[in-house]
Structure 1
């Protein structure tokens, strides 16, 4: 869910020019102001309509249209559950998460396309696959996806600003703080996901690829809780310390201000991650 900044718009417009799709074909359901506050304020000040291209979901709606064009499927109603694009997406999601397609729990996302429900443990396993898709065995159902998943991982690692935005987005900030080591993605309703690539631990030793998923139970209205819990989890997982932690300090212990702009309170994480053997045992 990108922030709707100008760089996101320029990237989508370039895709449109190369492929022949257009903003008019996007079916996000609403124009919506961009998530980025400064961009939204500028558009409002200038009286500029944002258009569906600035919608946070415009990127993957464009991807559905490109998938349809690649296979020669009709672009009309690409968002419907029985459209070939959604059926193809459902199969890939099921394989990535290790769930039979018939067992997927689905609903509708806020932008109108099907979305899926998974236990956090399954999400963490899927993000571990994203971190190191090349390591899966040849007889693993996910093996055929490894090359494509690696392309997605490397694109996110190489362009973290396209995942979130350039300002106040934890997913982008975390990837920039740990370049080449972390893929991060925020989701709706307080969901945060991380693919941790193999590498050294902060306090010595090395670690295999792993996935981390967390959910704030009361949803996404309280960004402070999700951000603080995310950074603290990365610290306890041995991924984050030193300069990288200092860069993310505003997410780790976010401040709340009083009406005069003075610091009034601090969100402070207070939990300990259970050892993996306890979670599996």
Structure 2
């Protein structure tokens, strides 16, 4: 079961605790390190996006649509709705000959605060392009085109697009079809319910695709490299994926998801990491992820210094006075349970 991973202190006293589960898995499927319950099941949410993009590239999407690494990154994104994000999605839709009206992901304000406030100042309403999943949905329209399937209904579980995505998830997680449950994500497409250890395995295979067929391995490599080098497109300004990348010389493939899920791949070691905070609140995800990387000896002293505010964040009051701290207390266990 989940174990206490973080303490929030005020005046030197513990005010709150957050529990977590962690799995660190190699590309052969071995659980190398763990905390809490590495087989805890939860929804993958947006951390599944690289694998939802995988069938597009397996089907030849990179050549068919002349996709750049930046465009592959936006297809894997939970973007902030910033100008650079909208420009990429708009260009992809135009190249496809599709309208934003074909995207069924819905409308919400940009998660990037300055962009959201600028819309308000200009008396403009957000559009479907501001939805953090608009790139993913555009990629799904592209896949429908390559499959000679109708673009309408691409979000439905029995549509060829979603069937190909399901098969990609089964391949990368090595799960049995009858063991992979689904729900409906916030953007209207299926989301997958599986153990953290299988999420971590998928990320390990994404960055170390040995054993995959040539087409899948090539697609995995393109996605991993695009995400690794363009975290500002995969997420957005000020987000954890970007902070980690800038502090560590772009060493990791990282992708967060709703309800406090976060996954990483470490290419140099062929490891995948999956984290779930039990309460579904991501406010302490940064300290947890950074501490895991520290315990895995993935952070040099210089990197730790750059990540000091993430590893050891302080709590301030409304006047800016430091009144407390957030303290990771997890210790990874080596080997299988």
| Pairing 1:219–2:280 present | yes
Q: Give 1:34's aligned residue.
A: 110
Paired with 2:172 and 2:215, the residues of 1 have a C-alpha distance of: 10
Contact 1:224–1:251, Cα closer than 8 Å, also in 2? no
Higher normalized contact order (CA 8 Å, seq sep 6+, divided by chain length) = 2
Paired with 2:250 and 2:202, the residues of 1 have a C-alpha distance of: 18
Contact 1:196–1:210, Cα closer than 8 Å, also in 2? yes
Contact 2:200–2:263, Cα closer than 8 Å, also in 1? yes
TM-score (norm 1): 0.88
Paired with 2:289 and 2:223, the residues of 1 have a C-alpha distance of: 22
Q: CA deviation at 1:58?
A: 0.9
Say which of 270, 293, 305 aligns to 1:209: 270
TM-score (norm 2): 0.74
Alignment of 1:1-281 (within 5 A): 1-29=78-106, 31-133=107-209, 136-137=210-211, 144-166=215-237, 168-198=238-268, 208-220=269-281, 223-275=282-334, 277=335, 280-281=336-337
Contact 1:32–1:51, Cα closer than 8 Å, also in 2? yes
- 1:12 is paired with a residue whose SS is helix
Q: CA deviation at 1:87?
A: 0.6
5+ residue gaps, structure 2, are 1-77
Aligned residues between the structures: 260
Show CA shifts across 1:222-247 (max 9, x none): x3321110110010011113222222
Q: CA deviation at 1:146?
A: 1.0
Stretches (4+) displaced over 3 A: none
More strand by share: 2
Contact 1:183–1:195, Cα closer than 8 Å, also in 2? yes
Paired with 1:224 and 1:70, the residues of 2 have a C-alpha distance of: 40
Aligned-residue CA RMSD in angstroms? 1.5
Q: CA deviation at 1:117?
A: 1.1
Paired with 1:147 and 1:178, the residues of 2 have a C-alpha distance of: 25
- 1:268 is paired with a residue whose SS is strand
Show CA shifts across 1:58-90 (max 9, x none): 111111111111222111111111111101100
5+ residue gaps, structure 1, are 199-207
Contact 2:317–2:323, Cα closer than 8 Å, also in 1? yes
